[in-house]
Amino acid sequence: MVSSGGLSCGAHMTPHEVHLAQPTARPPDYHHALSAARHRVTSANQWTESQLMGRRWPIGCVALEITQRCNLDCTACYLSEHSEAVKDIPLEELFRRIDLIFDHYGPNTNVQVTGGDPTLRKRDELVAIVRRLSQKRMRPALLTNGIRAKRELLVELAKAGLVDVAFHVDITQGRKGYGSEVALNEVRKEYIERARGLPLSVMFNTTVVDRNFEGISEIVEFFVRNCDVVRLASFQVQADTGRTILGRRSDAITILSVQEQIEKGARSSISFDTFRVGHSRCNRYGMIFVTNNKPTTRLTIGDCWRRSSLACHC
Ligand code: SF4
């Protein structure tokens, strides 16, 4: 349940890898895109039996930014300082982009409906965007800080075809009344209840910064306790990008040290090589099975009772 949005583990791509990662020409169709992805992954020495990119999809996911406006002002944010002045893209243009994504990457592509906070769009427009993605047989996910993602909206979006909802909650957001990362579990709990019982995969995103690094294991414990609803917990190490005011993170925060915090919270070792989506230095996933309230990465037949799974992305 850890995620990093870039090569933040301290190991950088080689010039040869950077060269391979250059944008390529638009593929004529989904099948060409799939084989091109396979070729790129192979060239980067990432083609293993567990590699999904180039096998199941031509791309891990596509971000569809539908507004740059946001109702929070996080101290770590990838948007630019001028984002609040950027006008929303018209709905027709978003539909054109959705069609383009489908033409490039085909059915089942994961599309993150993101921002800013996408719930700041007019409600009927947000629903129409999700419906369009679903009608195209792609998999829409809503990435939100959750403030406006009330139960009624989630119900409506699920009916329109939403597949995943990813709530961003962490200490960088300066939510009033919450002085620590662990205190924010109250907000997380409220969001879990909003989504409970809906046909949605519920995810949580956390930016790992100096101030919450030590608290990561405790929130992992929280996610394990709530794995009947929470499907994926993603941890992104702080990056000095966009309008972030925190600067560089401490050297103590690396993909490896975050992984150790996660394993401490899960009270179990986790294989982060169970499956891959793209380059292993870009993002890593680990699976935990929780049986009888106890996390494990190994299962026996007797474990099938009361089993839930939780993925970790870093
Ligand atoms: S990180 Fe997300 S929630 Fe925070 S200010 Fe930026 S867009 Fe808004």
Supply the DSSP symbol for 83: G
List, in order of start, the domains of the chain with CATH numbers: 34-258 (3.20.20.70)
Q: Which of 231, 227, 216 is nearest to 294 (CA)?
A: 227
Confidence band, pLDDT 50/70/90 cuts, at residue 132: very high
> Is 26:38 a contact under the CB 8 Å cutoff?
no
Please choose from 67, 77, 144 the residue to mutate so as to test ligand 1's pocket, defined by most ligand atoms within 8 A of CB.
77
Query: Residue 303: pLDDT above 90?
Result: no
Burial (CB count <10 Å: 0-12, 13-18, 19+), residue 240? exposed
Lowest mean pLDDT among 24-38, 67-81, 184-198: 24-38
74 lines ligand 1 (CB under 6 A): yes
- Which residue owns the Cα nearest ligand 1 atom 1? 77
Give 147 Cα–ligand 1 centroid separation in angstroms.
11
Q: Which of 169, 168, 166 is nearest to 183 (CA)?
A: 169
Query: Residue 300: pLDDT above 60?
Result: no
**What integer pLDDT is reported at residue 6 of this predicted model?**
35
Distance (Å, whole) CA 205 – CA 168: 5
Kindly state the percentage of the chain with pLDDT values over 70.
90
Mean of per-residue pLDDT scores for the chain: 88
Give 27 Cα–ligand 1 centroid separation in angstroms.
32
202 lines ligand 1 (CB under 6 A): no
Kindly state the percentage of the chain with pLDDT values over 90.
63
Mean pLDDT of 92-96: 97
Confidence band, pLDDT 50/70/90 cuts, at residue 246: confident
Confidence band, pLDDT 50/70/90 cuts, at residue 290: confident
Q: Which of 210, 226, 119 is nearest to 171 (CA)?
A: 210
Query: b/e string for 182-199 if b means 16 or more Cβ within 10 A?
Result: bebbebbeebbebbeebe
**What integer pLDDT is reported at residue 16 of this predicted model?**
81
**What integer pLDDT is reported at residue 308 of this predicted model?**
60
pLDDT digits (tens, 9 = 90+) for 25-69: 778 888 899 999 999 899 989 999 999 999 988 998 999 999 999
Which atom from ligand 1 is nearest to the alpha carbon of 115? 7
